[in-house]
Amino acid sequence: MSEPIQIAVIFSDNARSIQTITLNMQSGSTVAMAVRQSQLLSTLNDDEIDQFTLGIRGRKVALKQLLRDGDRIDVCRPLKVDPKVARRQRFSRQGAKTAGLFSKRREGAKAGY
């Protein structure tokens, strides 16, 4: 008989809103089984679910991935803006003098300190 394992499924449908479900499942269960059992995505249709990425410990996983005791499945939304593009836009708005690592230099200090 297979031993029970405990896993968590984490989903954030909106910014600053996190839903966590802890499940007790049998060893040999897959990521797909856990997401289905959590029912966090039950209100979404198949096209919306396909946009999400699943990960365990920050690494992307397939639906067939077997679970181990203590795994945390993250259901990640697609990014709305590329982080590199957002940083460039922020920097162009702020300007070189007020942004960056060396924007608050001490008076009389060497460049870069």
Instruction: Specify the pLDDT at position 45.
Output: 72
pLDDT beneath 50, residues of the chain: none
Instruction: Specify the pLDDT at position 83.
Output: 86
Instruction: Specify the pLDDT at position 98.
Output: 62
pTM exceeds 0.85, yes or no = no
40 contacts: CB under 8 Å, gap ≥ 6: 9, 11, 19, 21, 75
Asked if residue 45 lies in contact with residue 53, where contact means CB atoms within 8 angstroms, the answer is: no
Instruction: Specify the pLDDT at position 99.
Output: 59
CATH superfamily of the 4-76 domain: Beta-grasp domain (3.10.20.30)
Asked if residue 69 lies in contact with residue 6, where contact means CB atoms within 8 angstroms, the answer is: yes
Question: Helix (H, G, I), strand (E, B), or coil: what is residue 51?
Answer: coil
Residue 30 token pair: 């897959």
Q: What are 25-39's pLDDT values in tens digits? A: 999 999 988 988 998
Q: How far apart are CA 96 and CA 94, in angstroms?
A: 7
